[in-house]
Amino acid sequence: MRNRRTAASLIAASAVAALIPALTPATATAADTAGAPRAATQQQFAQQKLDWKRCDPKAPATFQCATVRVPLDYGRPQGKKLDIAISRIKASAPDQRRGVLLLNPGGPGGAGLDMPVYMSEQLPTSVKSRYDLIGFDPRGVGQSAPVTCGLSYEEQMSDRPYKAATFPSDVRWARTVAKKCAAANGARLPHLTTRNTARDMDAIRAALGEKKVSYLGYSYGTYLGAVYAQMFPARADRFVLDSAVDPRRIWRGMIQIWAEGAEPAFDRWTRWTAERDATYALGKSPREVRGTFWKLVARADRDPIVIDGQKITGDDIRAGRAVFFSVREAAEAVVELKKAADGGKPRLARLPDILKPAAPPTFGRAAAAEDNGTAAFWSVVCADTRDWPRDPETYRRDAIRDKAKYPLYGDFASNITPCAFWGKGSEPATKVDNRVPSLILQNEWDSQTPLPSGVGAHRALKGSRMVTVAGGEGHGIYGSGSCADKTATTYLTTGKLPARDLTCQAPEPKHQKSVRLPSPTAGR
């Protein structure tokens, strides 16, 4: 899932018209191979001759790129084709090589082509010696037939608080985005789904000549991995699902879970900050800290805070709810916002990343359209499931209810989206219910996939084991030096899952090292 105001390229976070006949039955089974590539098509994939070349002169010489040709519609394998951009860094010890490790950074809308480069800096040698690291841009993203809807910057901004006066314009925005995406992409749009991306992963496997694939997926990538394991259980080797999406909450529920998770995180922040009043001077009790914050929000709504030329309203502050999952960063950010509101000069370095996100490296390649990340996000989120309400009044009622229930972010999470006007998806949402072995890693205080989301994924993936990092902050674990890293490395190198679920303890909150993942999209 995506972060707010991220560079268009997750998540992500976080687009329609002519629908194709369903390729799967309404209820998916534990071995959900319905709509999978036919045997003849699989043979075509396996016979593809991949033309590996150095990805870019600015990239390491070991970083190679190629393309795999796949059907746009797997129900019509001889029809229109797409080129899926893939990349690799070969295993560093060929005599120890086990196979390939496919990588996905999340989103939907996150480009993964460059992942082998920056993950090679974060993964241990024991993993890199055994696996070719394989990156790829999912269909519709980056270098893989990128989708665009011609959206302006403002049209990409999807963080919209509910207000009675502005709700009609929110409805117009949602309708406009859906209409633009339909006009720009037509019949190919319904094929940009997680199920088809999973089929593409299997095409990549076949083209690489591998019987099985191992996998490391973050955030949305955990759902992609779960769907692959559901559709191709016999071809899933060692799967690490980091910061997991609950398959049973696809997709509106996964946006709403941001509000549900923000409230306990905010309460924890008020307690932590009150214990450090001598440092932050925001209040000596959780109640006082809470009061300071909400007074700042109300003040910014009346008179926006200007920071580096950018006006920050109270709604903008609430939309930055993710910062409260990192208590120290949140305390420092609120101090600086309060300083700016009082006429002082804030230290921009102390403000949360929602104000100035970093863009991922592209090694000089031509970028996709500016709205590619946002367009890809809505494409997948709206087409993956048929459960989106169609009546705008449903969103109004839910936003009013959830603003009262979850004051920090509830109205944002339940407000209307373009999916209300998207039309039905090409296939039902995948029912994930299998016993394929996998390892789930989950921080206790993850802003994008809060702990209940990881627990839900663990429940759906009956063959999984879960490592919970108690007190762990941030989105993305493996490769950050977390206490969970050792378990993941052991699993990838030996295939041995823990005998039971584990909990390990994170250190005292500080500016911790984070997994380096691209920010896939603008607007959330």
Pairing of strands 81-89, 131-136: antiparallel
- Identify the three-state secondary structure at position 235: helix
CB 262 within 8 A of CB 269: no
d(CA 76, CA 413): 37
CB 111 within 8 A of CB 520: yes
d(CA 164, CA 226): 39
β-strand partners of 213: 236
- Identify the three-state secondary structure at position 232: coil
User: How long a stretch of residues is the chain?
Assistant: 524
Tell me the residue ranges of DSSP E strands in 15-171: 53-54, 64-71, 81-89, 99-104, 131-136
User: Would the CA dihedral through 446, 466, 459, 202 be positive or negative?
Assistant: positive
Q: What angle do CA 470, 105, 87 make, to 5 degrees?
A: 140
Tell me which residue has tokens 């709509």. Answer: 35
β-strand partners of 461: 434
Q: Is 485 a catalytic residue?
A: no
Closest CA to 366 of 55, 3, 13, 4: 55
Cβ neighbours of residue 266 under 8 Å, at least 6 residues apart?
Answer: 321, 324, 408
Pairing of strands 438-445, 464-473: parallel
> DSSP assignment, residue 467?
E
- Among candidate residues 170, 242, 446, 485, the one labeled active-site is 446
- What's the Cα-to-Cα distance from 422 to each of 177, 182, 190, rounded to whole Å? 9, 8, 10
Closest CA to 258 of 293, 219, 228, 225: 219
Q: Is 475 a catalytic residue?
A: yes
CB 506 within 8 A of CB 470: yes
CB 258 within 8 A of CB 58: no
- Among candidate residues 14, 219, 426, 482, the one labeled active-site is 219
- Among candidate residues 87, 447, 475, 519, the one labeled active-site is 475
d(CA 117, CA 133): 9
d(CA 470, CA 81): 46
> Among all residues, which ones are annotated catalytic?
219, 446, 475
